[in-house]
Amino acid sequence: MRAAVIGAGASGMTAALTASGLGHEVTVFERQARVGRKLMATGNGRCNLTNTGAGADNYHGEAPDFVLPALRRFGVRDTLDFFGRLGLLTREEYGGRVYPLSNSANSVVDVLRQAMDAAGIKLVCGDRVRELSRHGSGFMLATESGEKCSFDAVVMACGGLAGEKLGGGRDGYELLRGLGHTRTALRPALVQITTEPMYPRSLKGIKADCRLRLRRGGRELAASEGEVLFTETGVSGPAAFDISRKVSEQGDAKCELELDFLRDYSFTEALDHLKQRAIAAPGLPAAELLTGSVHNRLGRMLIKYAALDAGKAVGELTGAELERAAGACKRFVLPVRGTEGFAQAQVTAGGIRTAEFRAETLESRIVPGLFACGEVLDIDADCGGYNLQWAWSSGRLAGRLGK
């Protein structure tokens, strides 16, 4: 069988290797000049391959359970064995995150590319697929360079809108819509949350471990825990990424981001700590009250947020003032503007409706012989290696071409 794989990202390369391994003649089309560009940028260039805790709860979309057949047939252990056979050494880090031992995403791309070369997979780079249509019982594919090819089966692995500079785009959606498929709304996810600029600018570059809560009209919409990074325009980092999908869903609705910088301590425990500090160092200026509790620059900003006189001696602070300082540490609120766009996003929330594909094979219910995998489908996941696990699992399943 002659099979085309459109897209040479994580899911596309996995699909190509799988189909080739089953004896099919495979051609991969990639509009970028080289394979795996987006993959090389993941995990800050380290490539968070997977997560040992990957499960259905980590996935989102109209039907998150759609991922289960793919994860069962090619799970985390299968993924690690697969890469081990390709020559990649890995190690598990905090939170179940798995990285290449080399700490370089290039290693991941290189072993996949080398495996495709060894398998004799034809690779067409730098040429965009502009048209895909039915041709008898198969498909006709046309590229921008004018090449036309017929195939018995097609795997759509074009990815989504996220990371536009690295190859993200609408091609997959448009090609699939041309064959009768529909999609959900598209929103950036795993992306920086933008906030009102009154405090983030002064905190730019500071990292903090905290609990985040997204609220709208007093109602909690989402929560996460972990590292945040303050930027000039808002809040980034894994904990922010995990709730950015929910921020995107709110559109122009007014929301607040609540940060708890002392998540392992109750308000009472935090207040008792500050009272003890005031007794132990009464001559210390209030600006230094939170030294040892949070980053120094963050501590000084929280004192300002609590409306305390930074020059006032700690020993002269009233009980109410100490309560305000503890409250600032436990509930620092930033008005939310929204998120950065698709260019900065790591993944796309939304995509081609999964109800239009068979979860057991990833074959289209509308067009026989058409398969889809990865980000082009309406599946996205939490930060921590879960999106790449979906790419490997879905690519493996789609690449079986229904077998």
Per the listing, tokens 């090619």 go with 74
The helix (run of H) or strand (run of E) holding residue 229 is strand 219-230
Residue 343, pLDDT score: 92
Q: Where are the domains of the chain?
A: 2-187+350-399, 192-340
- Per DSSP, 357 falls in state B
Q: What is the pLDDT of residue 283?
A: 96
Q: How far apart are CA 153 and CA 256, in angstroms?
A: 48
Q: What is the mean pLDDT of each run of 10 residues along the chain (403 residues)?
A: 98 99 98 93 91 95 97 98 98 96 97 98 97 96 96 97 85 97 97 86 92 96 96 94 95 94 98 97 97 96 96 97 98 96 95 99 98 98 96 99 93
Q: Which CATH superfamily is domain 2-187+350-399 in?
A: FAD/NAD(P)-binding domain (3.50.50.60)
Record the pTM: 0.92
Nearest to 124 by CA among 12, 17, 34, 9: 34
Q: What is the DSSP letter of 192?
A: P
Tell me how far apart the alpha carbons of residues 64 and 79 are, in angstroms, rounded to a whole number: 20
| Residue 164: per-residue pLDDT | 77
Q: pLDDT value at position 320?
A: 98
How many of the other CB atoms lie within 10 Å of CB of 251?
9
How much is the pLDDT for 46?
95
What angle do helix axes 386-399 and 76-86 make, rounded to 10 degrees? 80
Number of H helices and number of E strands within the chain? 12, 21
